[in-house]
Protein backbone atom coordinates (compact mmCIF):
# COMPACT_ATOMS: atom_id res chain seq x y z
CA UNK A 1 0.00 0.00 0.00
CA UNK A 2 2.90 2.35 0.68
CA UNK A 3 3.98 2.10 -2.97
CA UNK A 4 0.46 3.01 -4.05
CA UNK A 5 0.48 6.08 -1.80
CA UNK A 6 3.92 7.19 -2.96
CA UNK A 7 3.06 6.78 -6.62
CA UNK A 8 5.23 6.57 -9.67
CA UNK A 9 7.58 8.93 -11.46
CA UNK A 10 6.05 12.43 -11.58
CA UNK A 11 8.02 13.42 -14.68
CA UNK A 12 6.80 10.40 -16.65
CA UNK A 13 3.27 11.16 -15.47
CA UNK A 14 3.41 14.75 -16.73
CA UNK A 15 4.15 13.46 -20.24
CA UNK A 16 1.00 11.31 -20.18
CA UNK A 17 -2.40 11.74 -21.77
CA UNK A 18 -5.59 13.52 -20.79
CA UNK A 19 -5.94 11.93 -17.33
CA UNK A 20 -2.87 13.84 -16.22
CA UNK A 21 -4.85 17.09 -16.49
CA UNK A 22 -6.98 16.03 -13.52
CA UNK A 23 -3.95 15.29 -11.37
CA UNK A 24 -1.31 17.65 -12.73
CA UNK A 25 0.78 17.28 -9.56
CA UNK A 26 0.00 13.58 -9.22
CA UNK A 27 1.26 10.26 -10.47
CA UNK A 28 0.13 6.66 -11.00
CA UNK A 29 1.20 3.27 -9.73
CA UNK A 30 -0.42 -0.15 -9.26
CA UNK A 31 -3.85 0.98 -10.52
CA UNK A 32 -3.90 3.92 -8.06
CA UNK A 33 -3.78 7.62 -8.95
CA UNK A 34 -2.09 10.06 -6.60
CA UNK A 35 -3.93 13.38 -6.79
CA UNK A 36 -0.98 15.51 -5.72
CA UNK A 37 -3.29 17.60 -3.53
CA UNK A 38 -2.36 18.97 -0.12
CA UNK A 39 -4.10 16.10 1.68
CA UNK A 40 -2.08 13.40 -0.11
CA UNK A 41 -5.28 11.87 -1.43
CA UNK A 42 -5.17 8.94 -3.83
CA UNK A 43 -7.83 7.02 -5.72
CA UNK A 44 -8.74 4.12 -7.95
CA UNK A 45 -11.00 4.93 -10.89
CA UNK A 46 -13.03 2.32 -12.74
CA UNK A 47 -14.97 2.60 -15.97
CA UNK A 48 -18.55 3.87 -15.82
CA UNK A 49 -17.63 6.26 -12.96
CA UNK A 50 -16.70 3.90 -10.15
CA UNK A 51 -14.30 5.37 -7.59
CA UNK A 52 -12.41 4.61 -4.41
CA UNK A 53 -11.10 7.91 -3.00
CA UNK A 54 -8.84 7.94 0.07
CA UNK A 55 -7.88 11.12 1.92
CA UNK A 56 -5.34 10.22 4.63
CA UNK A 57 -5.29 13.69 6.22
CA UNK A 58 -9.08 13.87 6.63
CA UNK A 59 -9.17 10.14 7.47
CA UNK A 60 -11.91 9.61 4.89
CA UNK A 61 -12.58 6.83 2.40
CA UNK A 62 -15.27 7.39 -0.23
CA UNK A 63 -16.52 4.54 -2.42
CA UNK A 64 -18.74 5.48 -5.34
CA UNK A 65 -20.48 2.65 -7.17
CA UNK A 66 -22.24 3.53 -10.40
CA UNK A 67 -23.02 2.46 -13.93
CA UNK A 68 -22.89 5.57 -16.09
CA UNK A 69 -23.72 5.16 -19.76
CA UNK A 70 -20.32 6.37 -20.95
CA UNK A 71 -17.32 4.25 -19.91
CA UNK A 72 -15.23 7.42 -19.54
CA UNK A 73 -16.61 10.92 -19.05
CA UNK A 74 -14.02 13.60 -18.28
CA UNK A 75 -16.58 16.20 -17.18
CA UNK A 76 -18.22 13.80 -14.73
CA UNK A 77 -14.84 12.65 -13.43
CA UNK A 78 -13.85 16.25 -12.70
CA UNK A 79 -17.17 16.83 -10.91
CA UNK A 80 -16.68 13.67 -8.83
CA UNK A 81 -13.20 14.75 -7.83
CA UNK A 82 -14.42 18.23 -6.80
CA UNK A 83 -17.20 16.63 -4.73
CA UNK A 84 -14.82 14.25 -2.96
CA UNK A 85 -12.40 17.07 -2.15
CA UNK A 86 -15.25 19.25 -0.85
CA UNK A 87 -16.54 16.46 1.39
CA UNK A 88 -13.08 15.88 2.84
CA UNK A 89 -12.48 19.61 3.36
CA UNK A 90 -15.77 19.93 5.24
CA UNK A 91 -15.00 17.15 7.70
Specify whether the CB–CB gap between 35 and 13 falls below 8 A.
Answer: no
What is the rounded average pLDDT of the residues 17-43? 77
Q: Which helix (H) or strand (E) holds 59?
A: none
Q: Which of the pair, 60 or 22, is modelled with greater confidence?
A: 60
Structure confidence by residue, pLDDT tens digits, 5-17: 665 565 665 666 5
Mean pLDDT of the chain: 83
Residue 36 in this model has a pLDDT that exceeds 90: no
Q: Which of the pair, 84 or 4, is modelled with greater confidence?
A: 84
The per-residue pLDDT for 72 is: 83
Distance CA 21, CA 7 (A): 16
pTM: 0.79
Q: What percent of the chain has pLDDT over 90?
A: 40
Residue 90: phi and psi, rounded to 5, are -80, -15
Domains and CATH numbers, the chain: 2-90 (3.40.710.10)
Amino acid sequence: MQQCREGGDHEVWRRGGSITEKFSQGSYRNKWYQTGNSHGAFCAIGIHSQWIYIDPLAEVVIVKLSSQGDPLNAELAAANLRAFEAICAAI
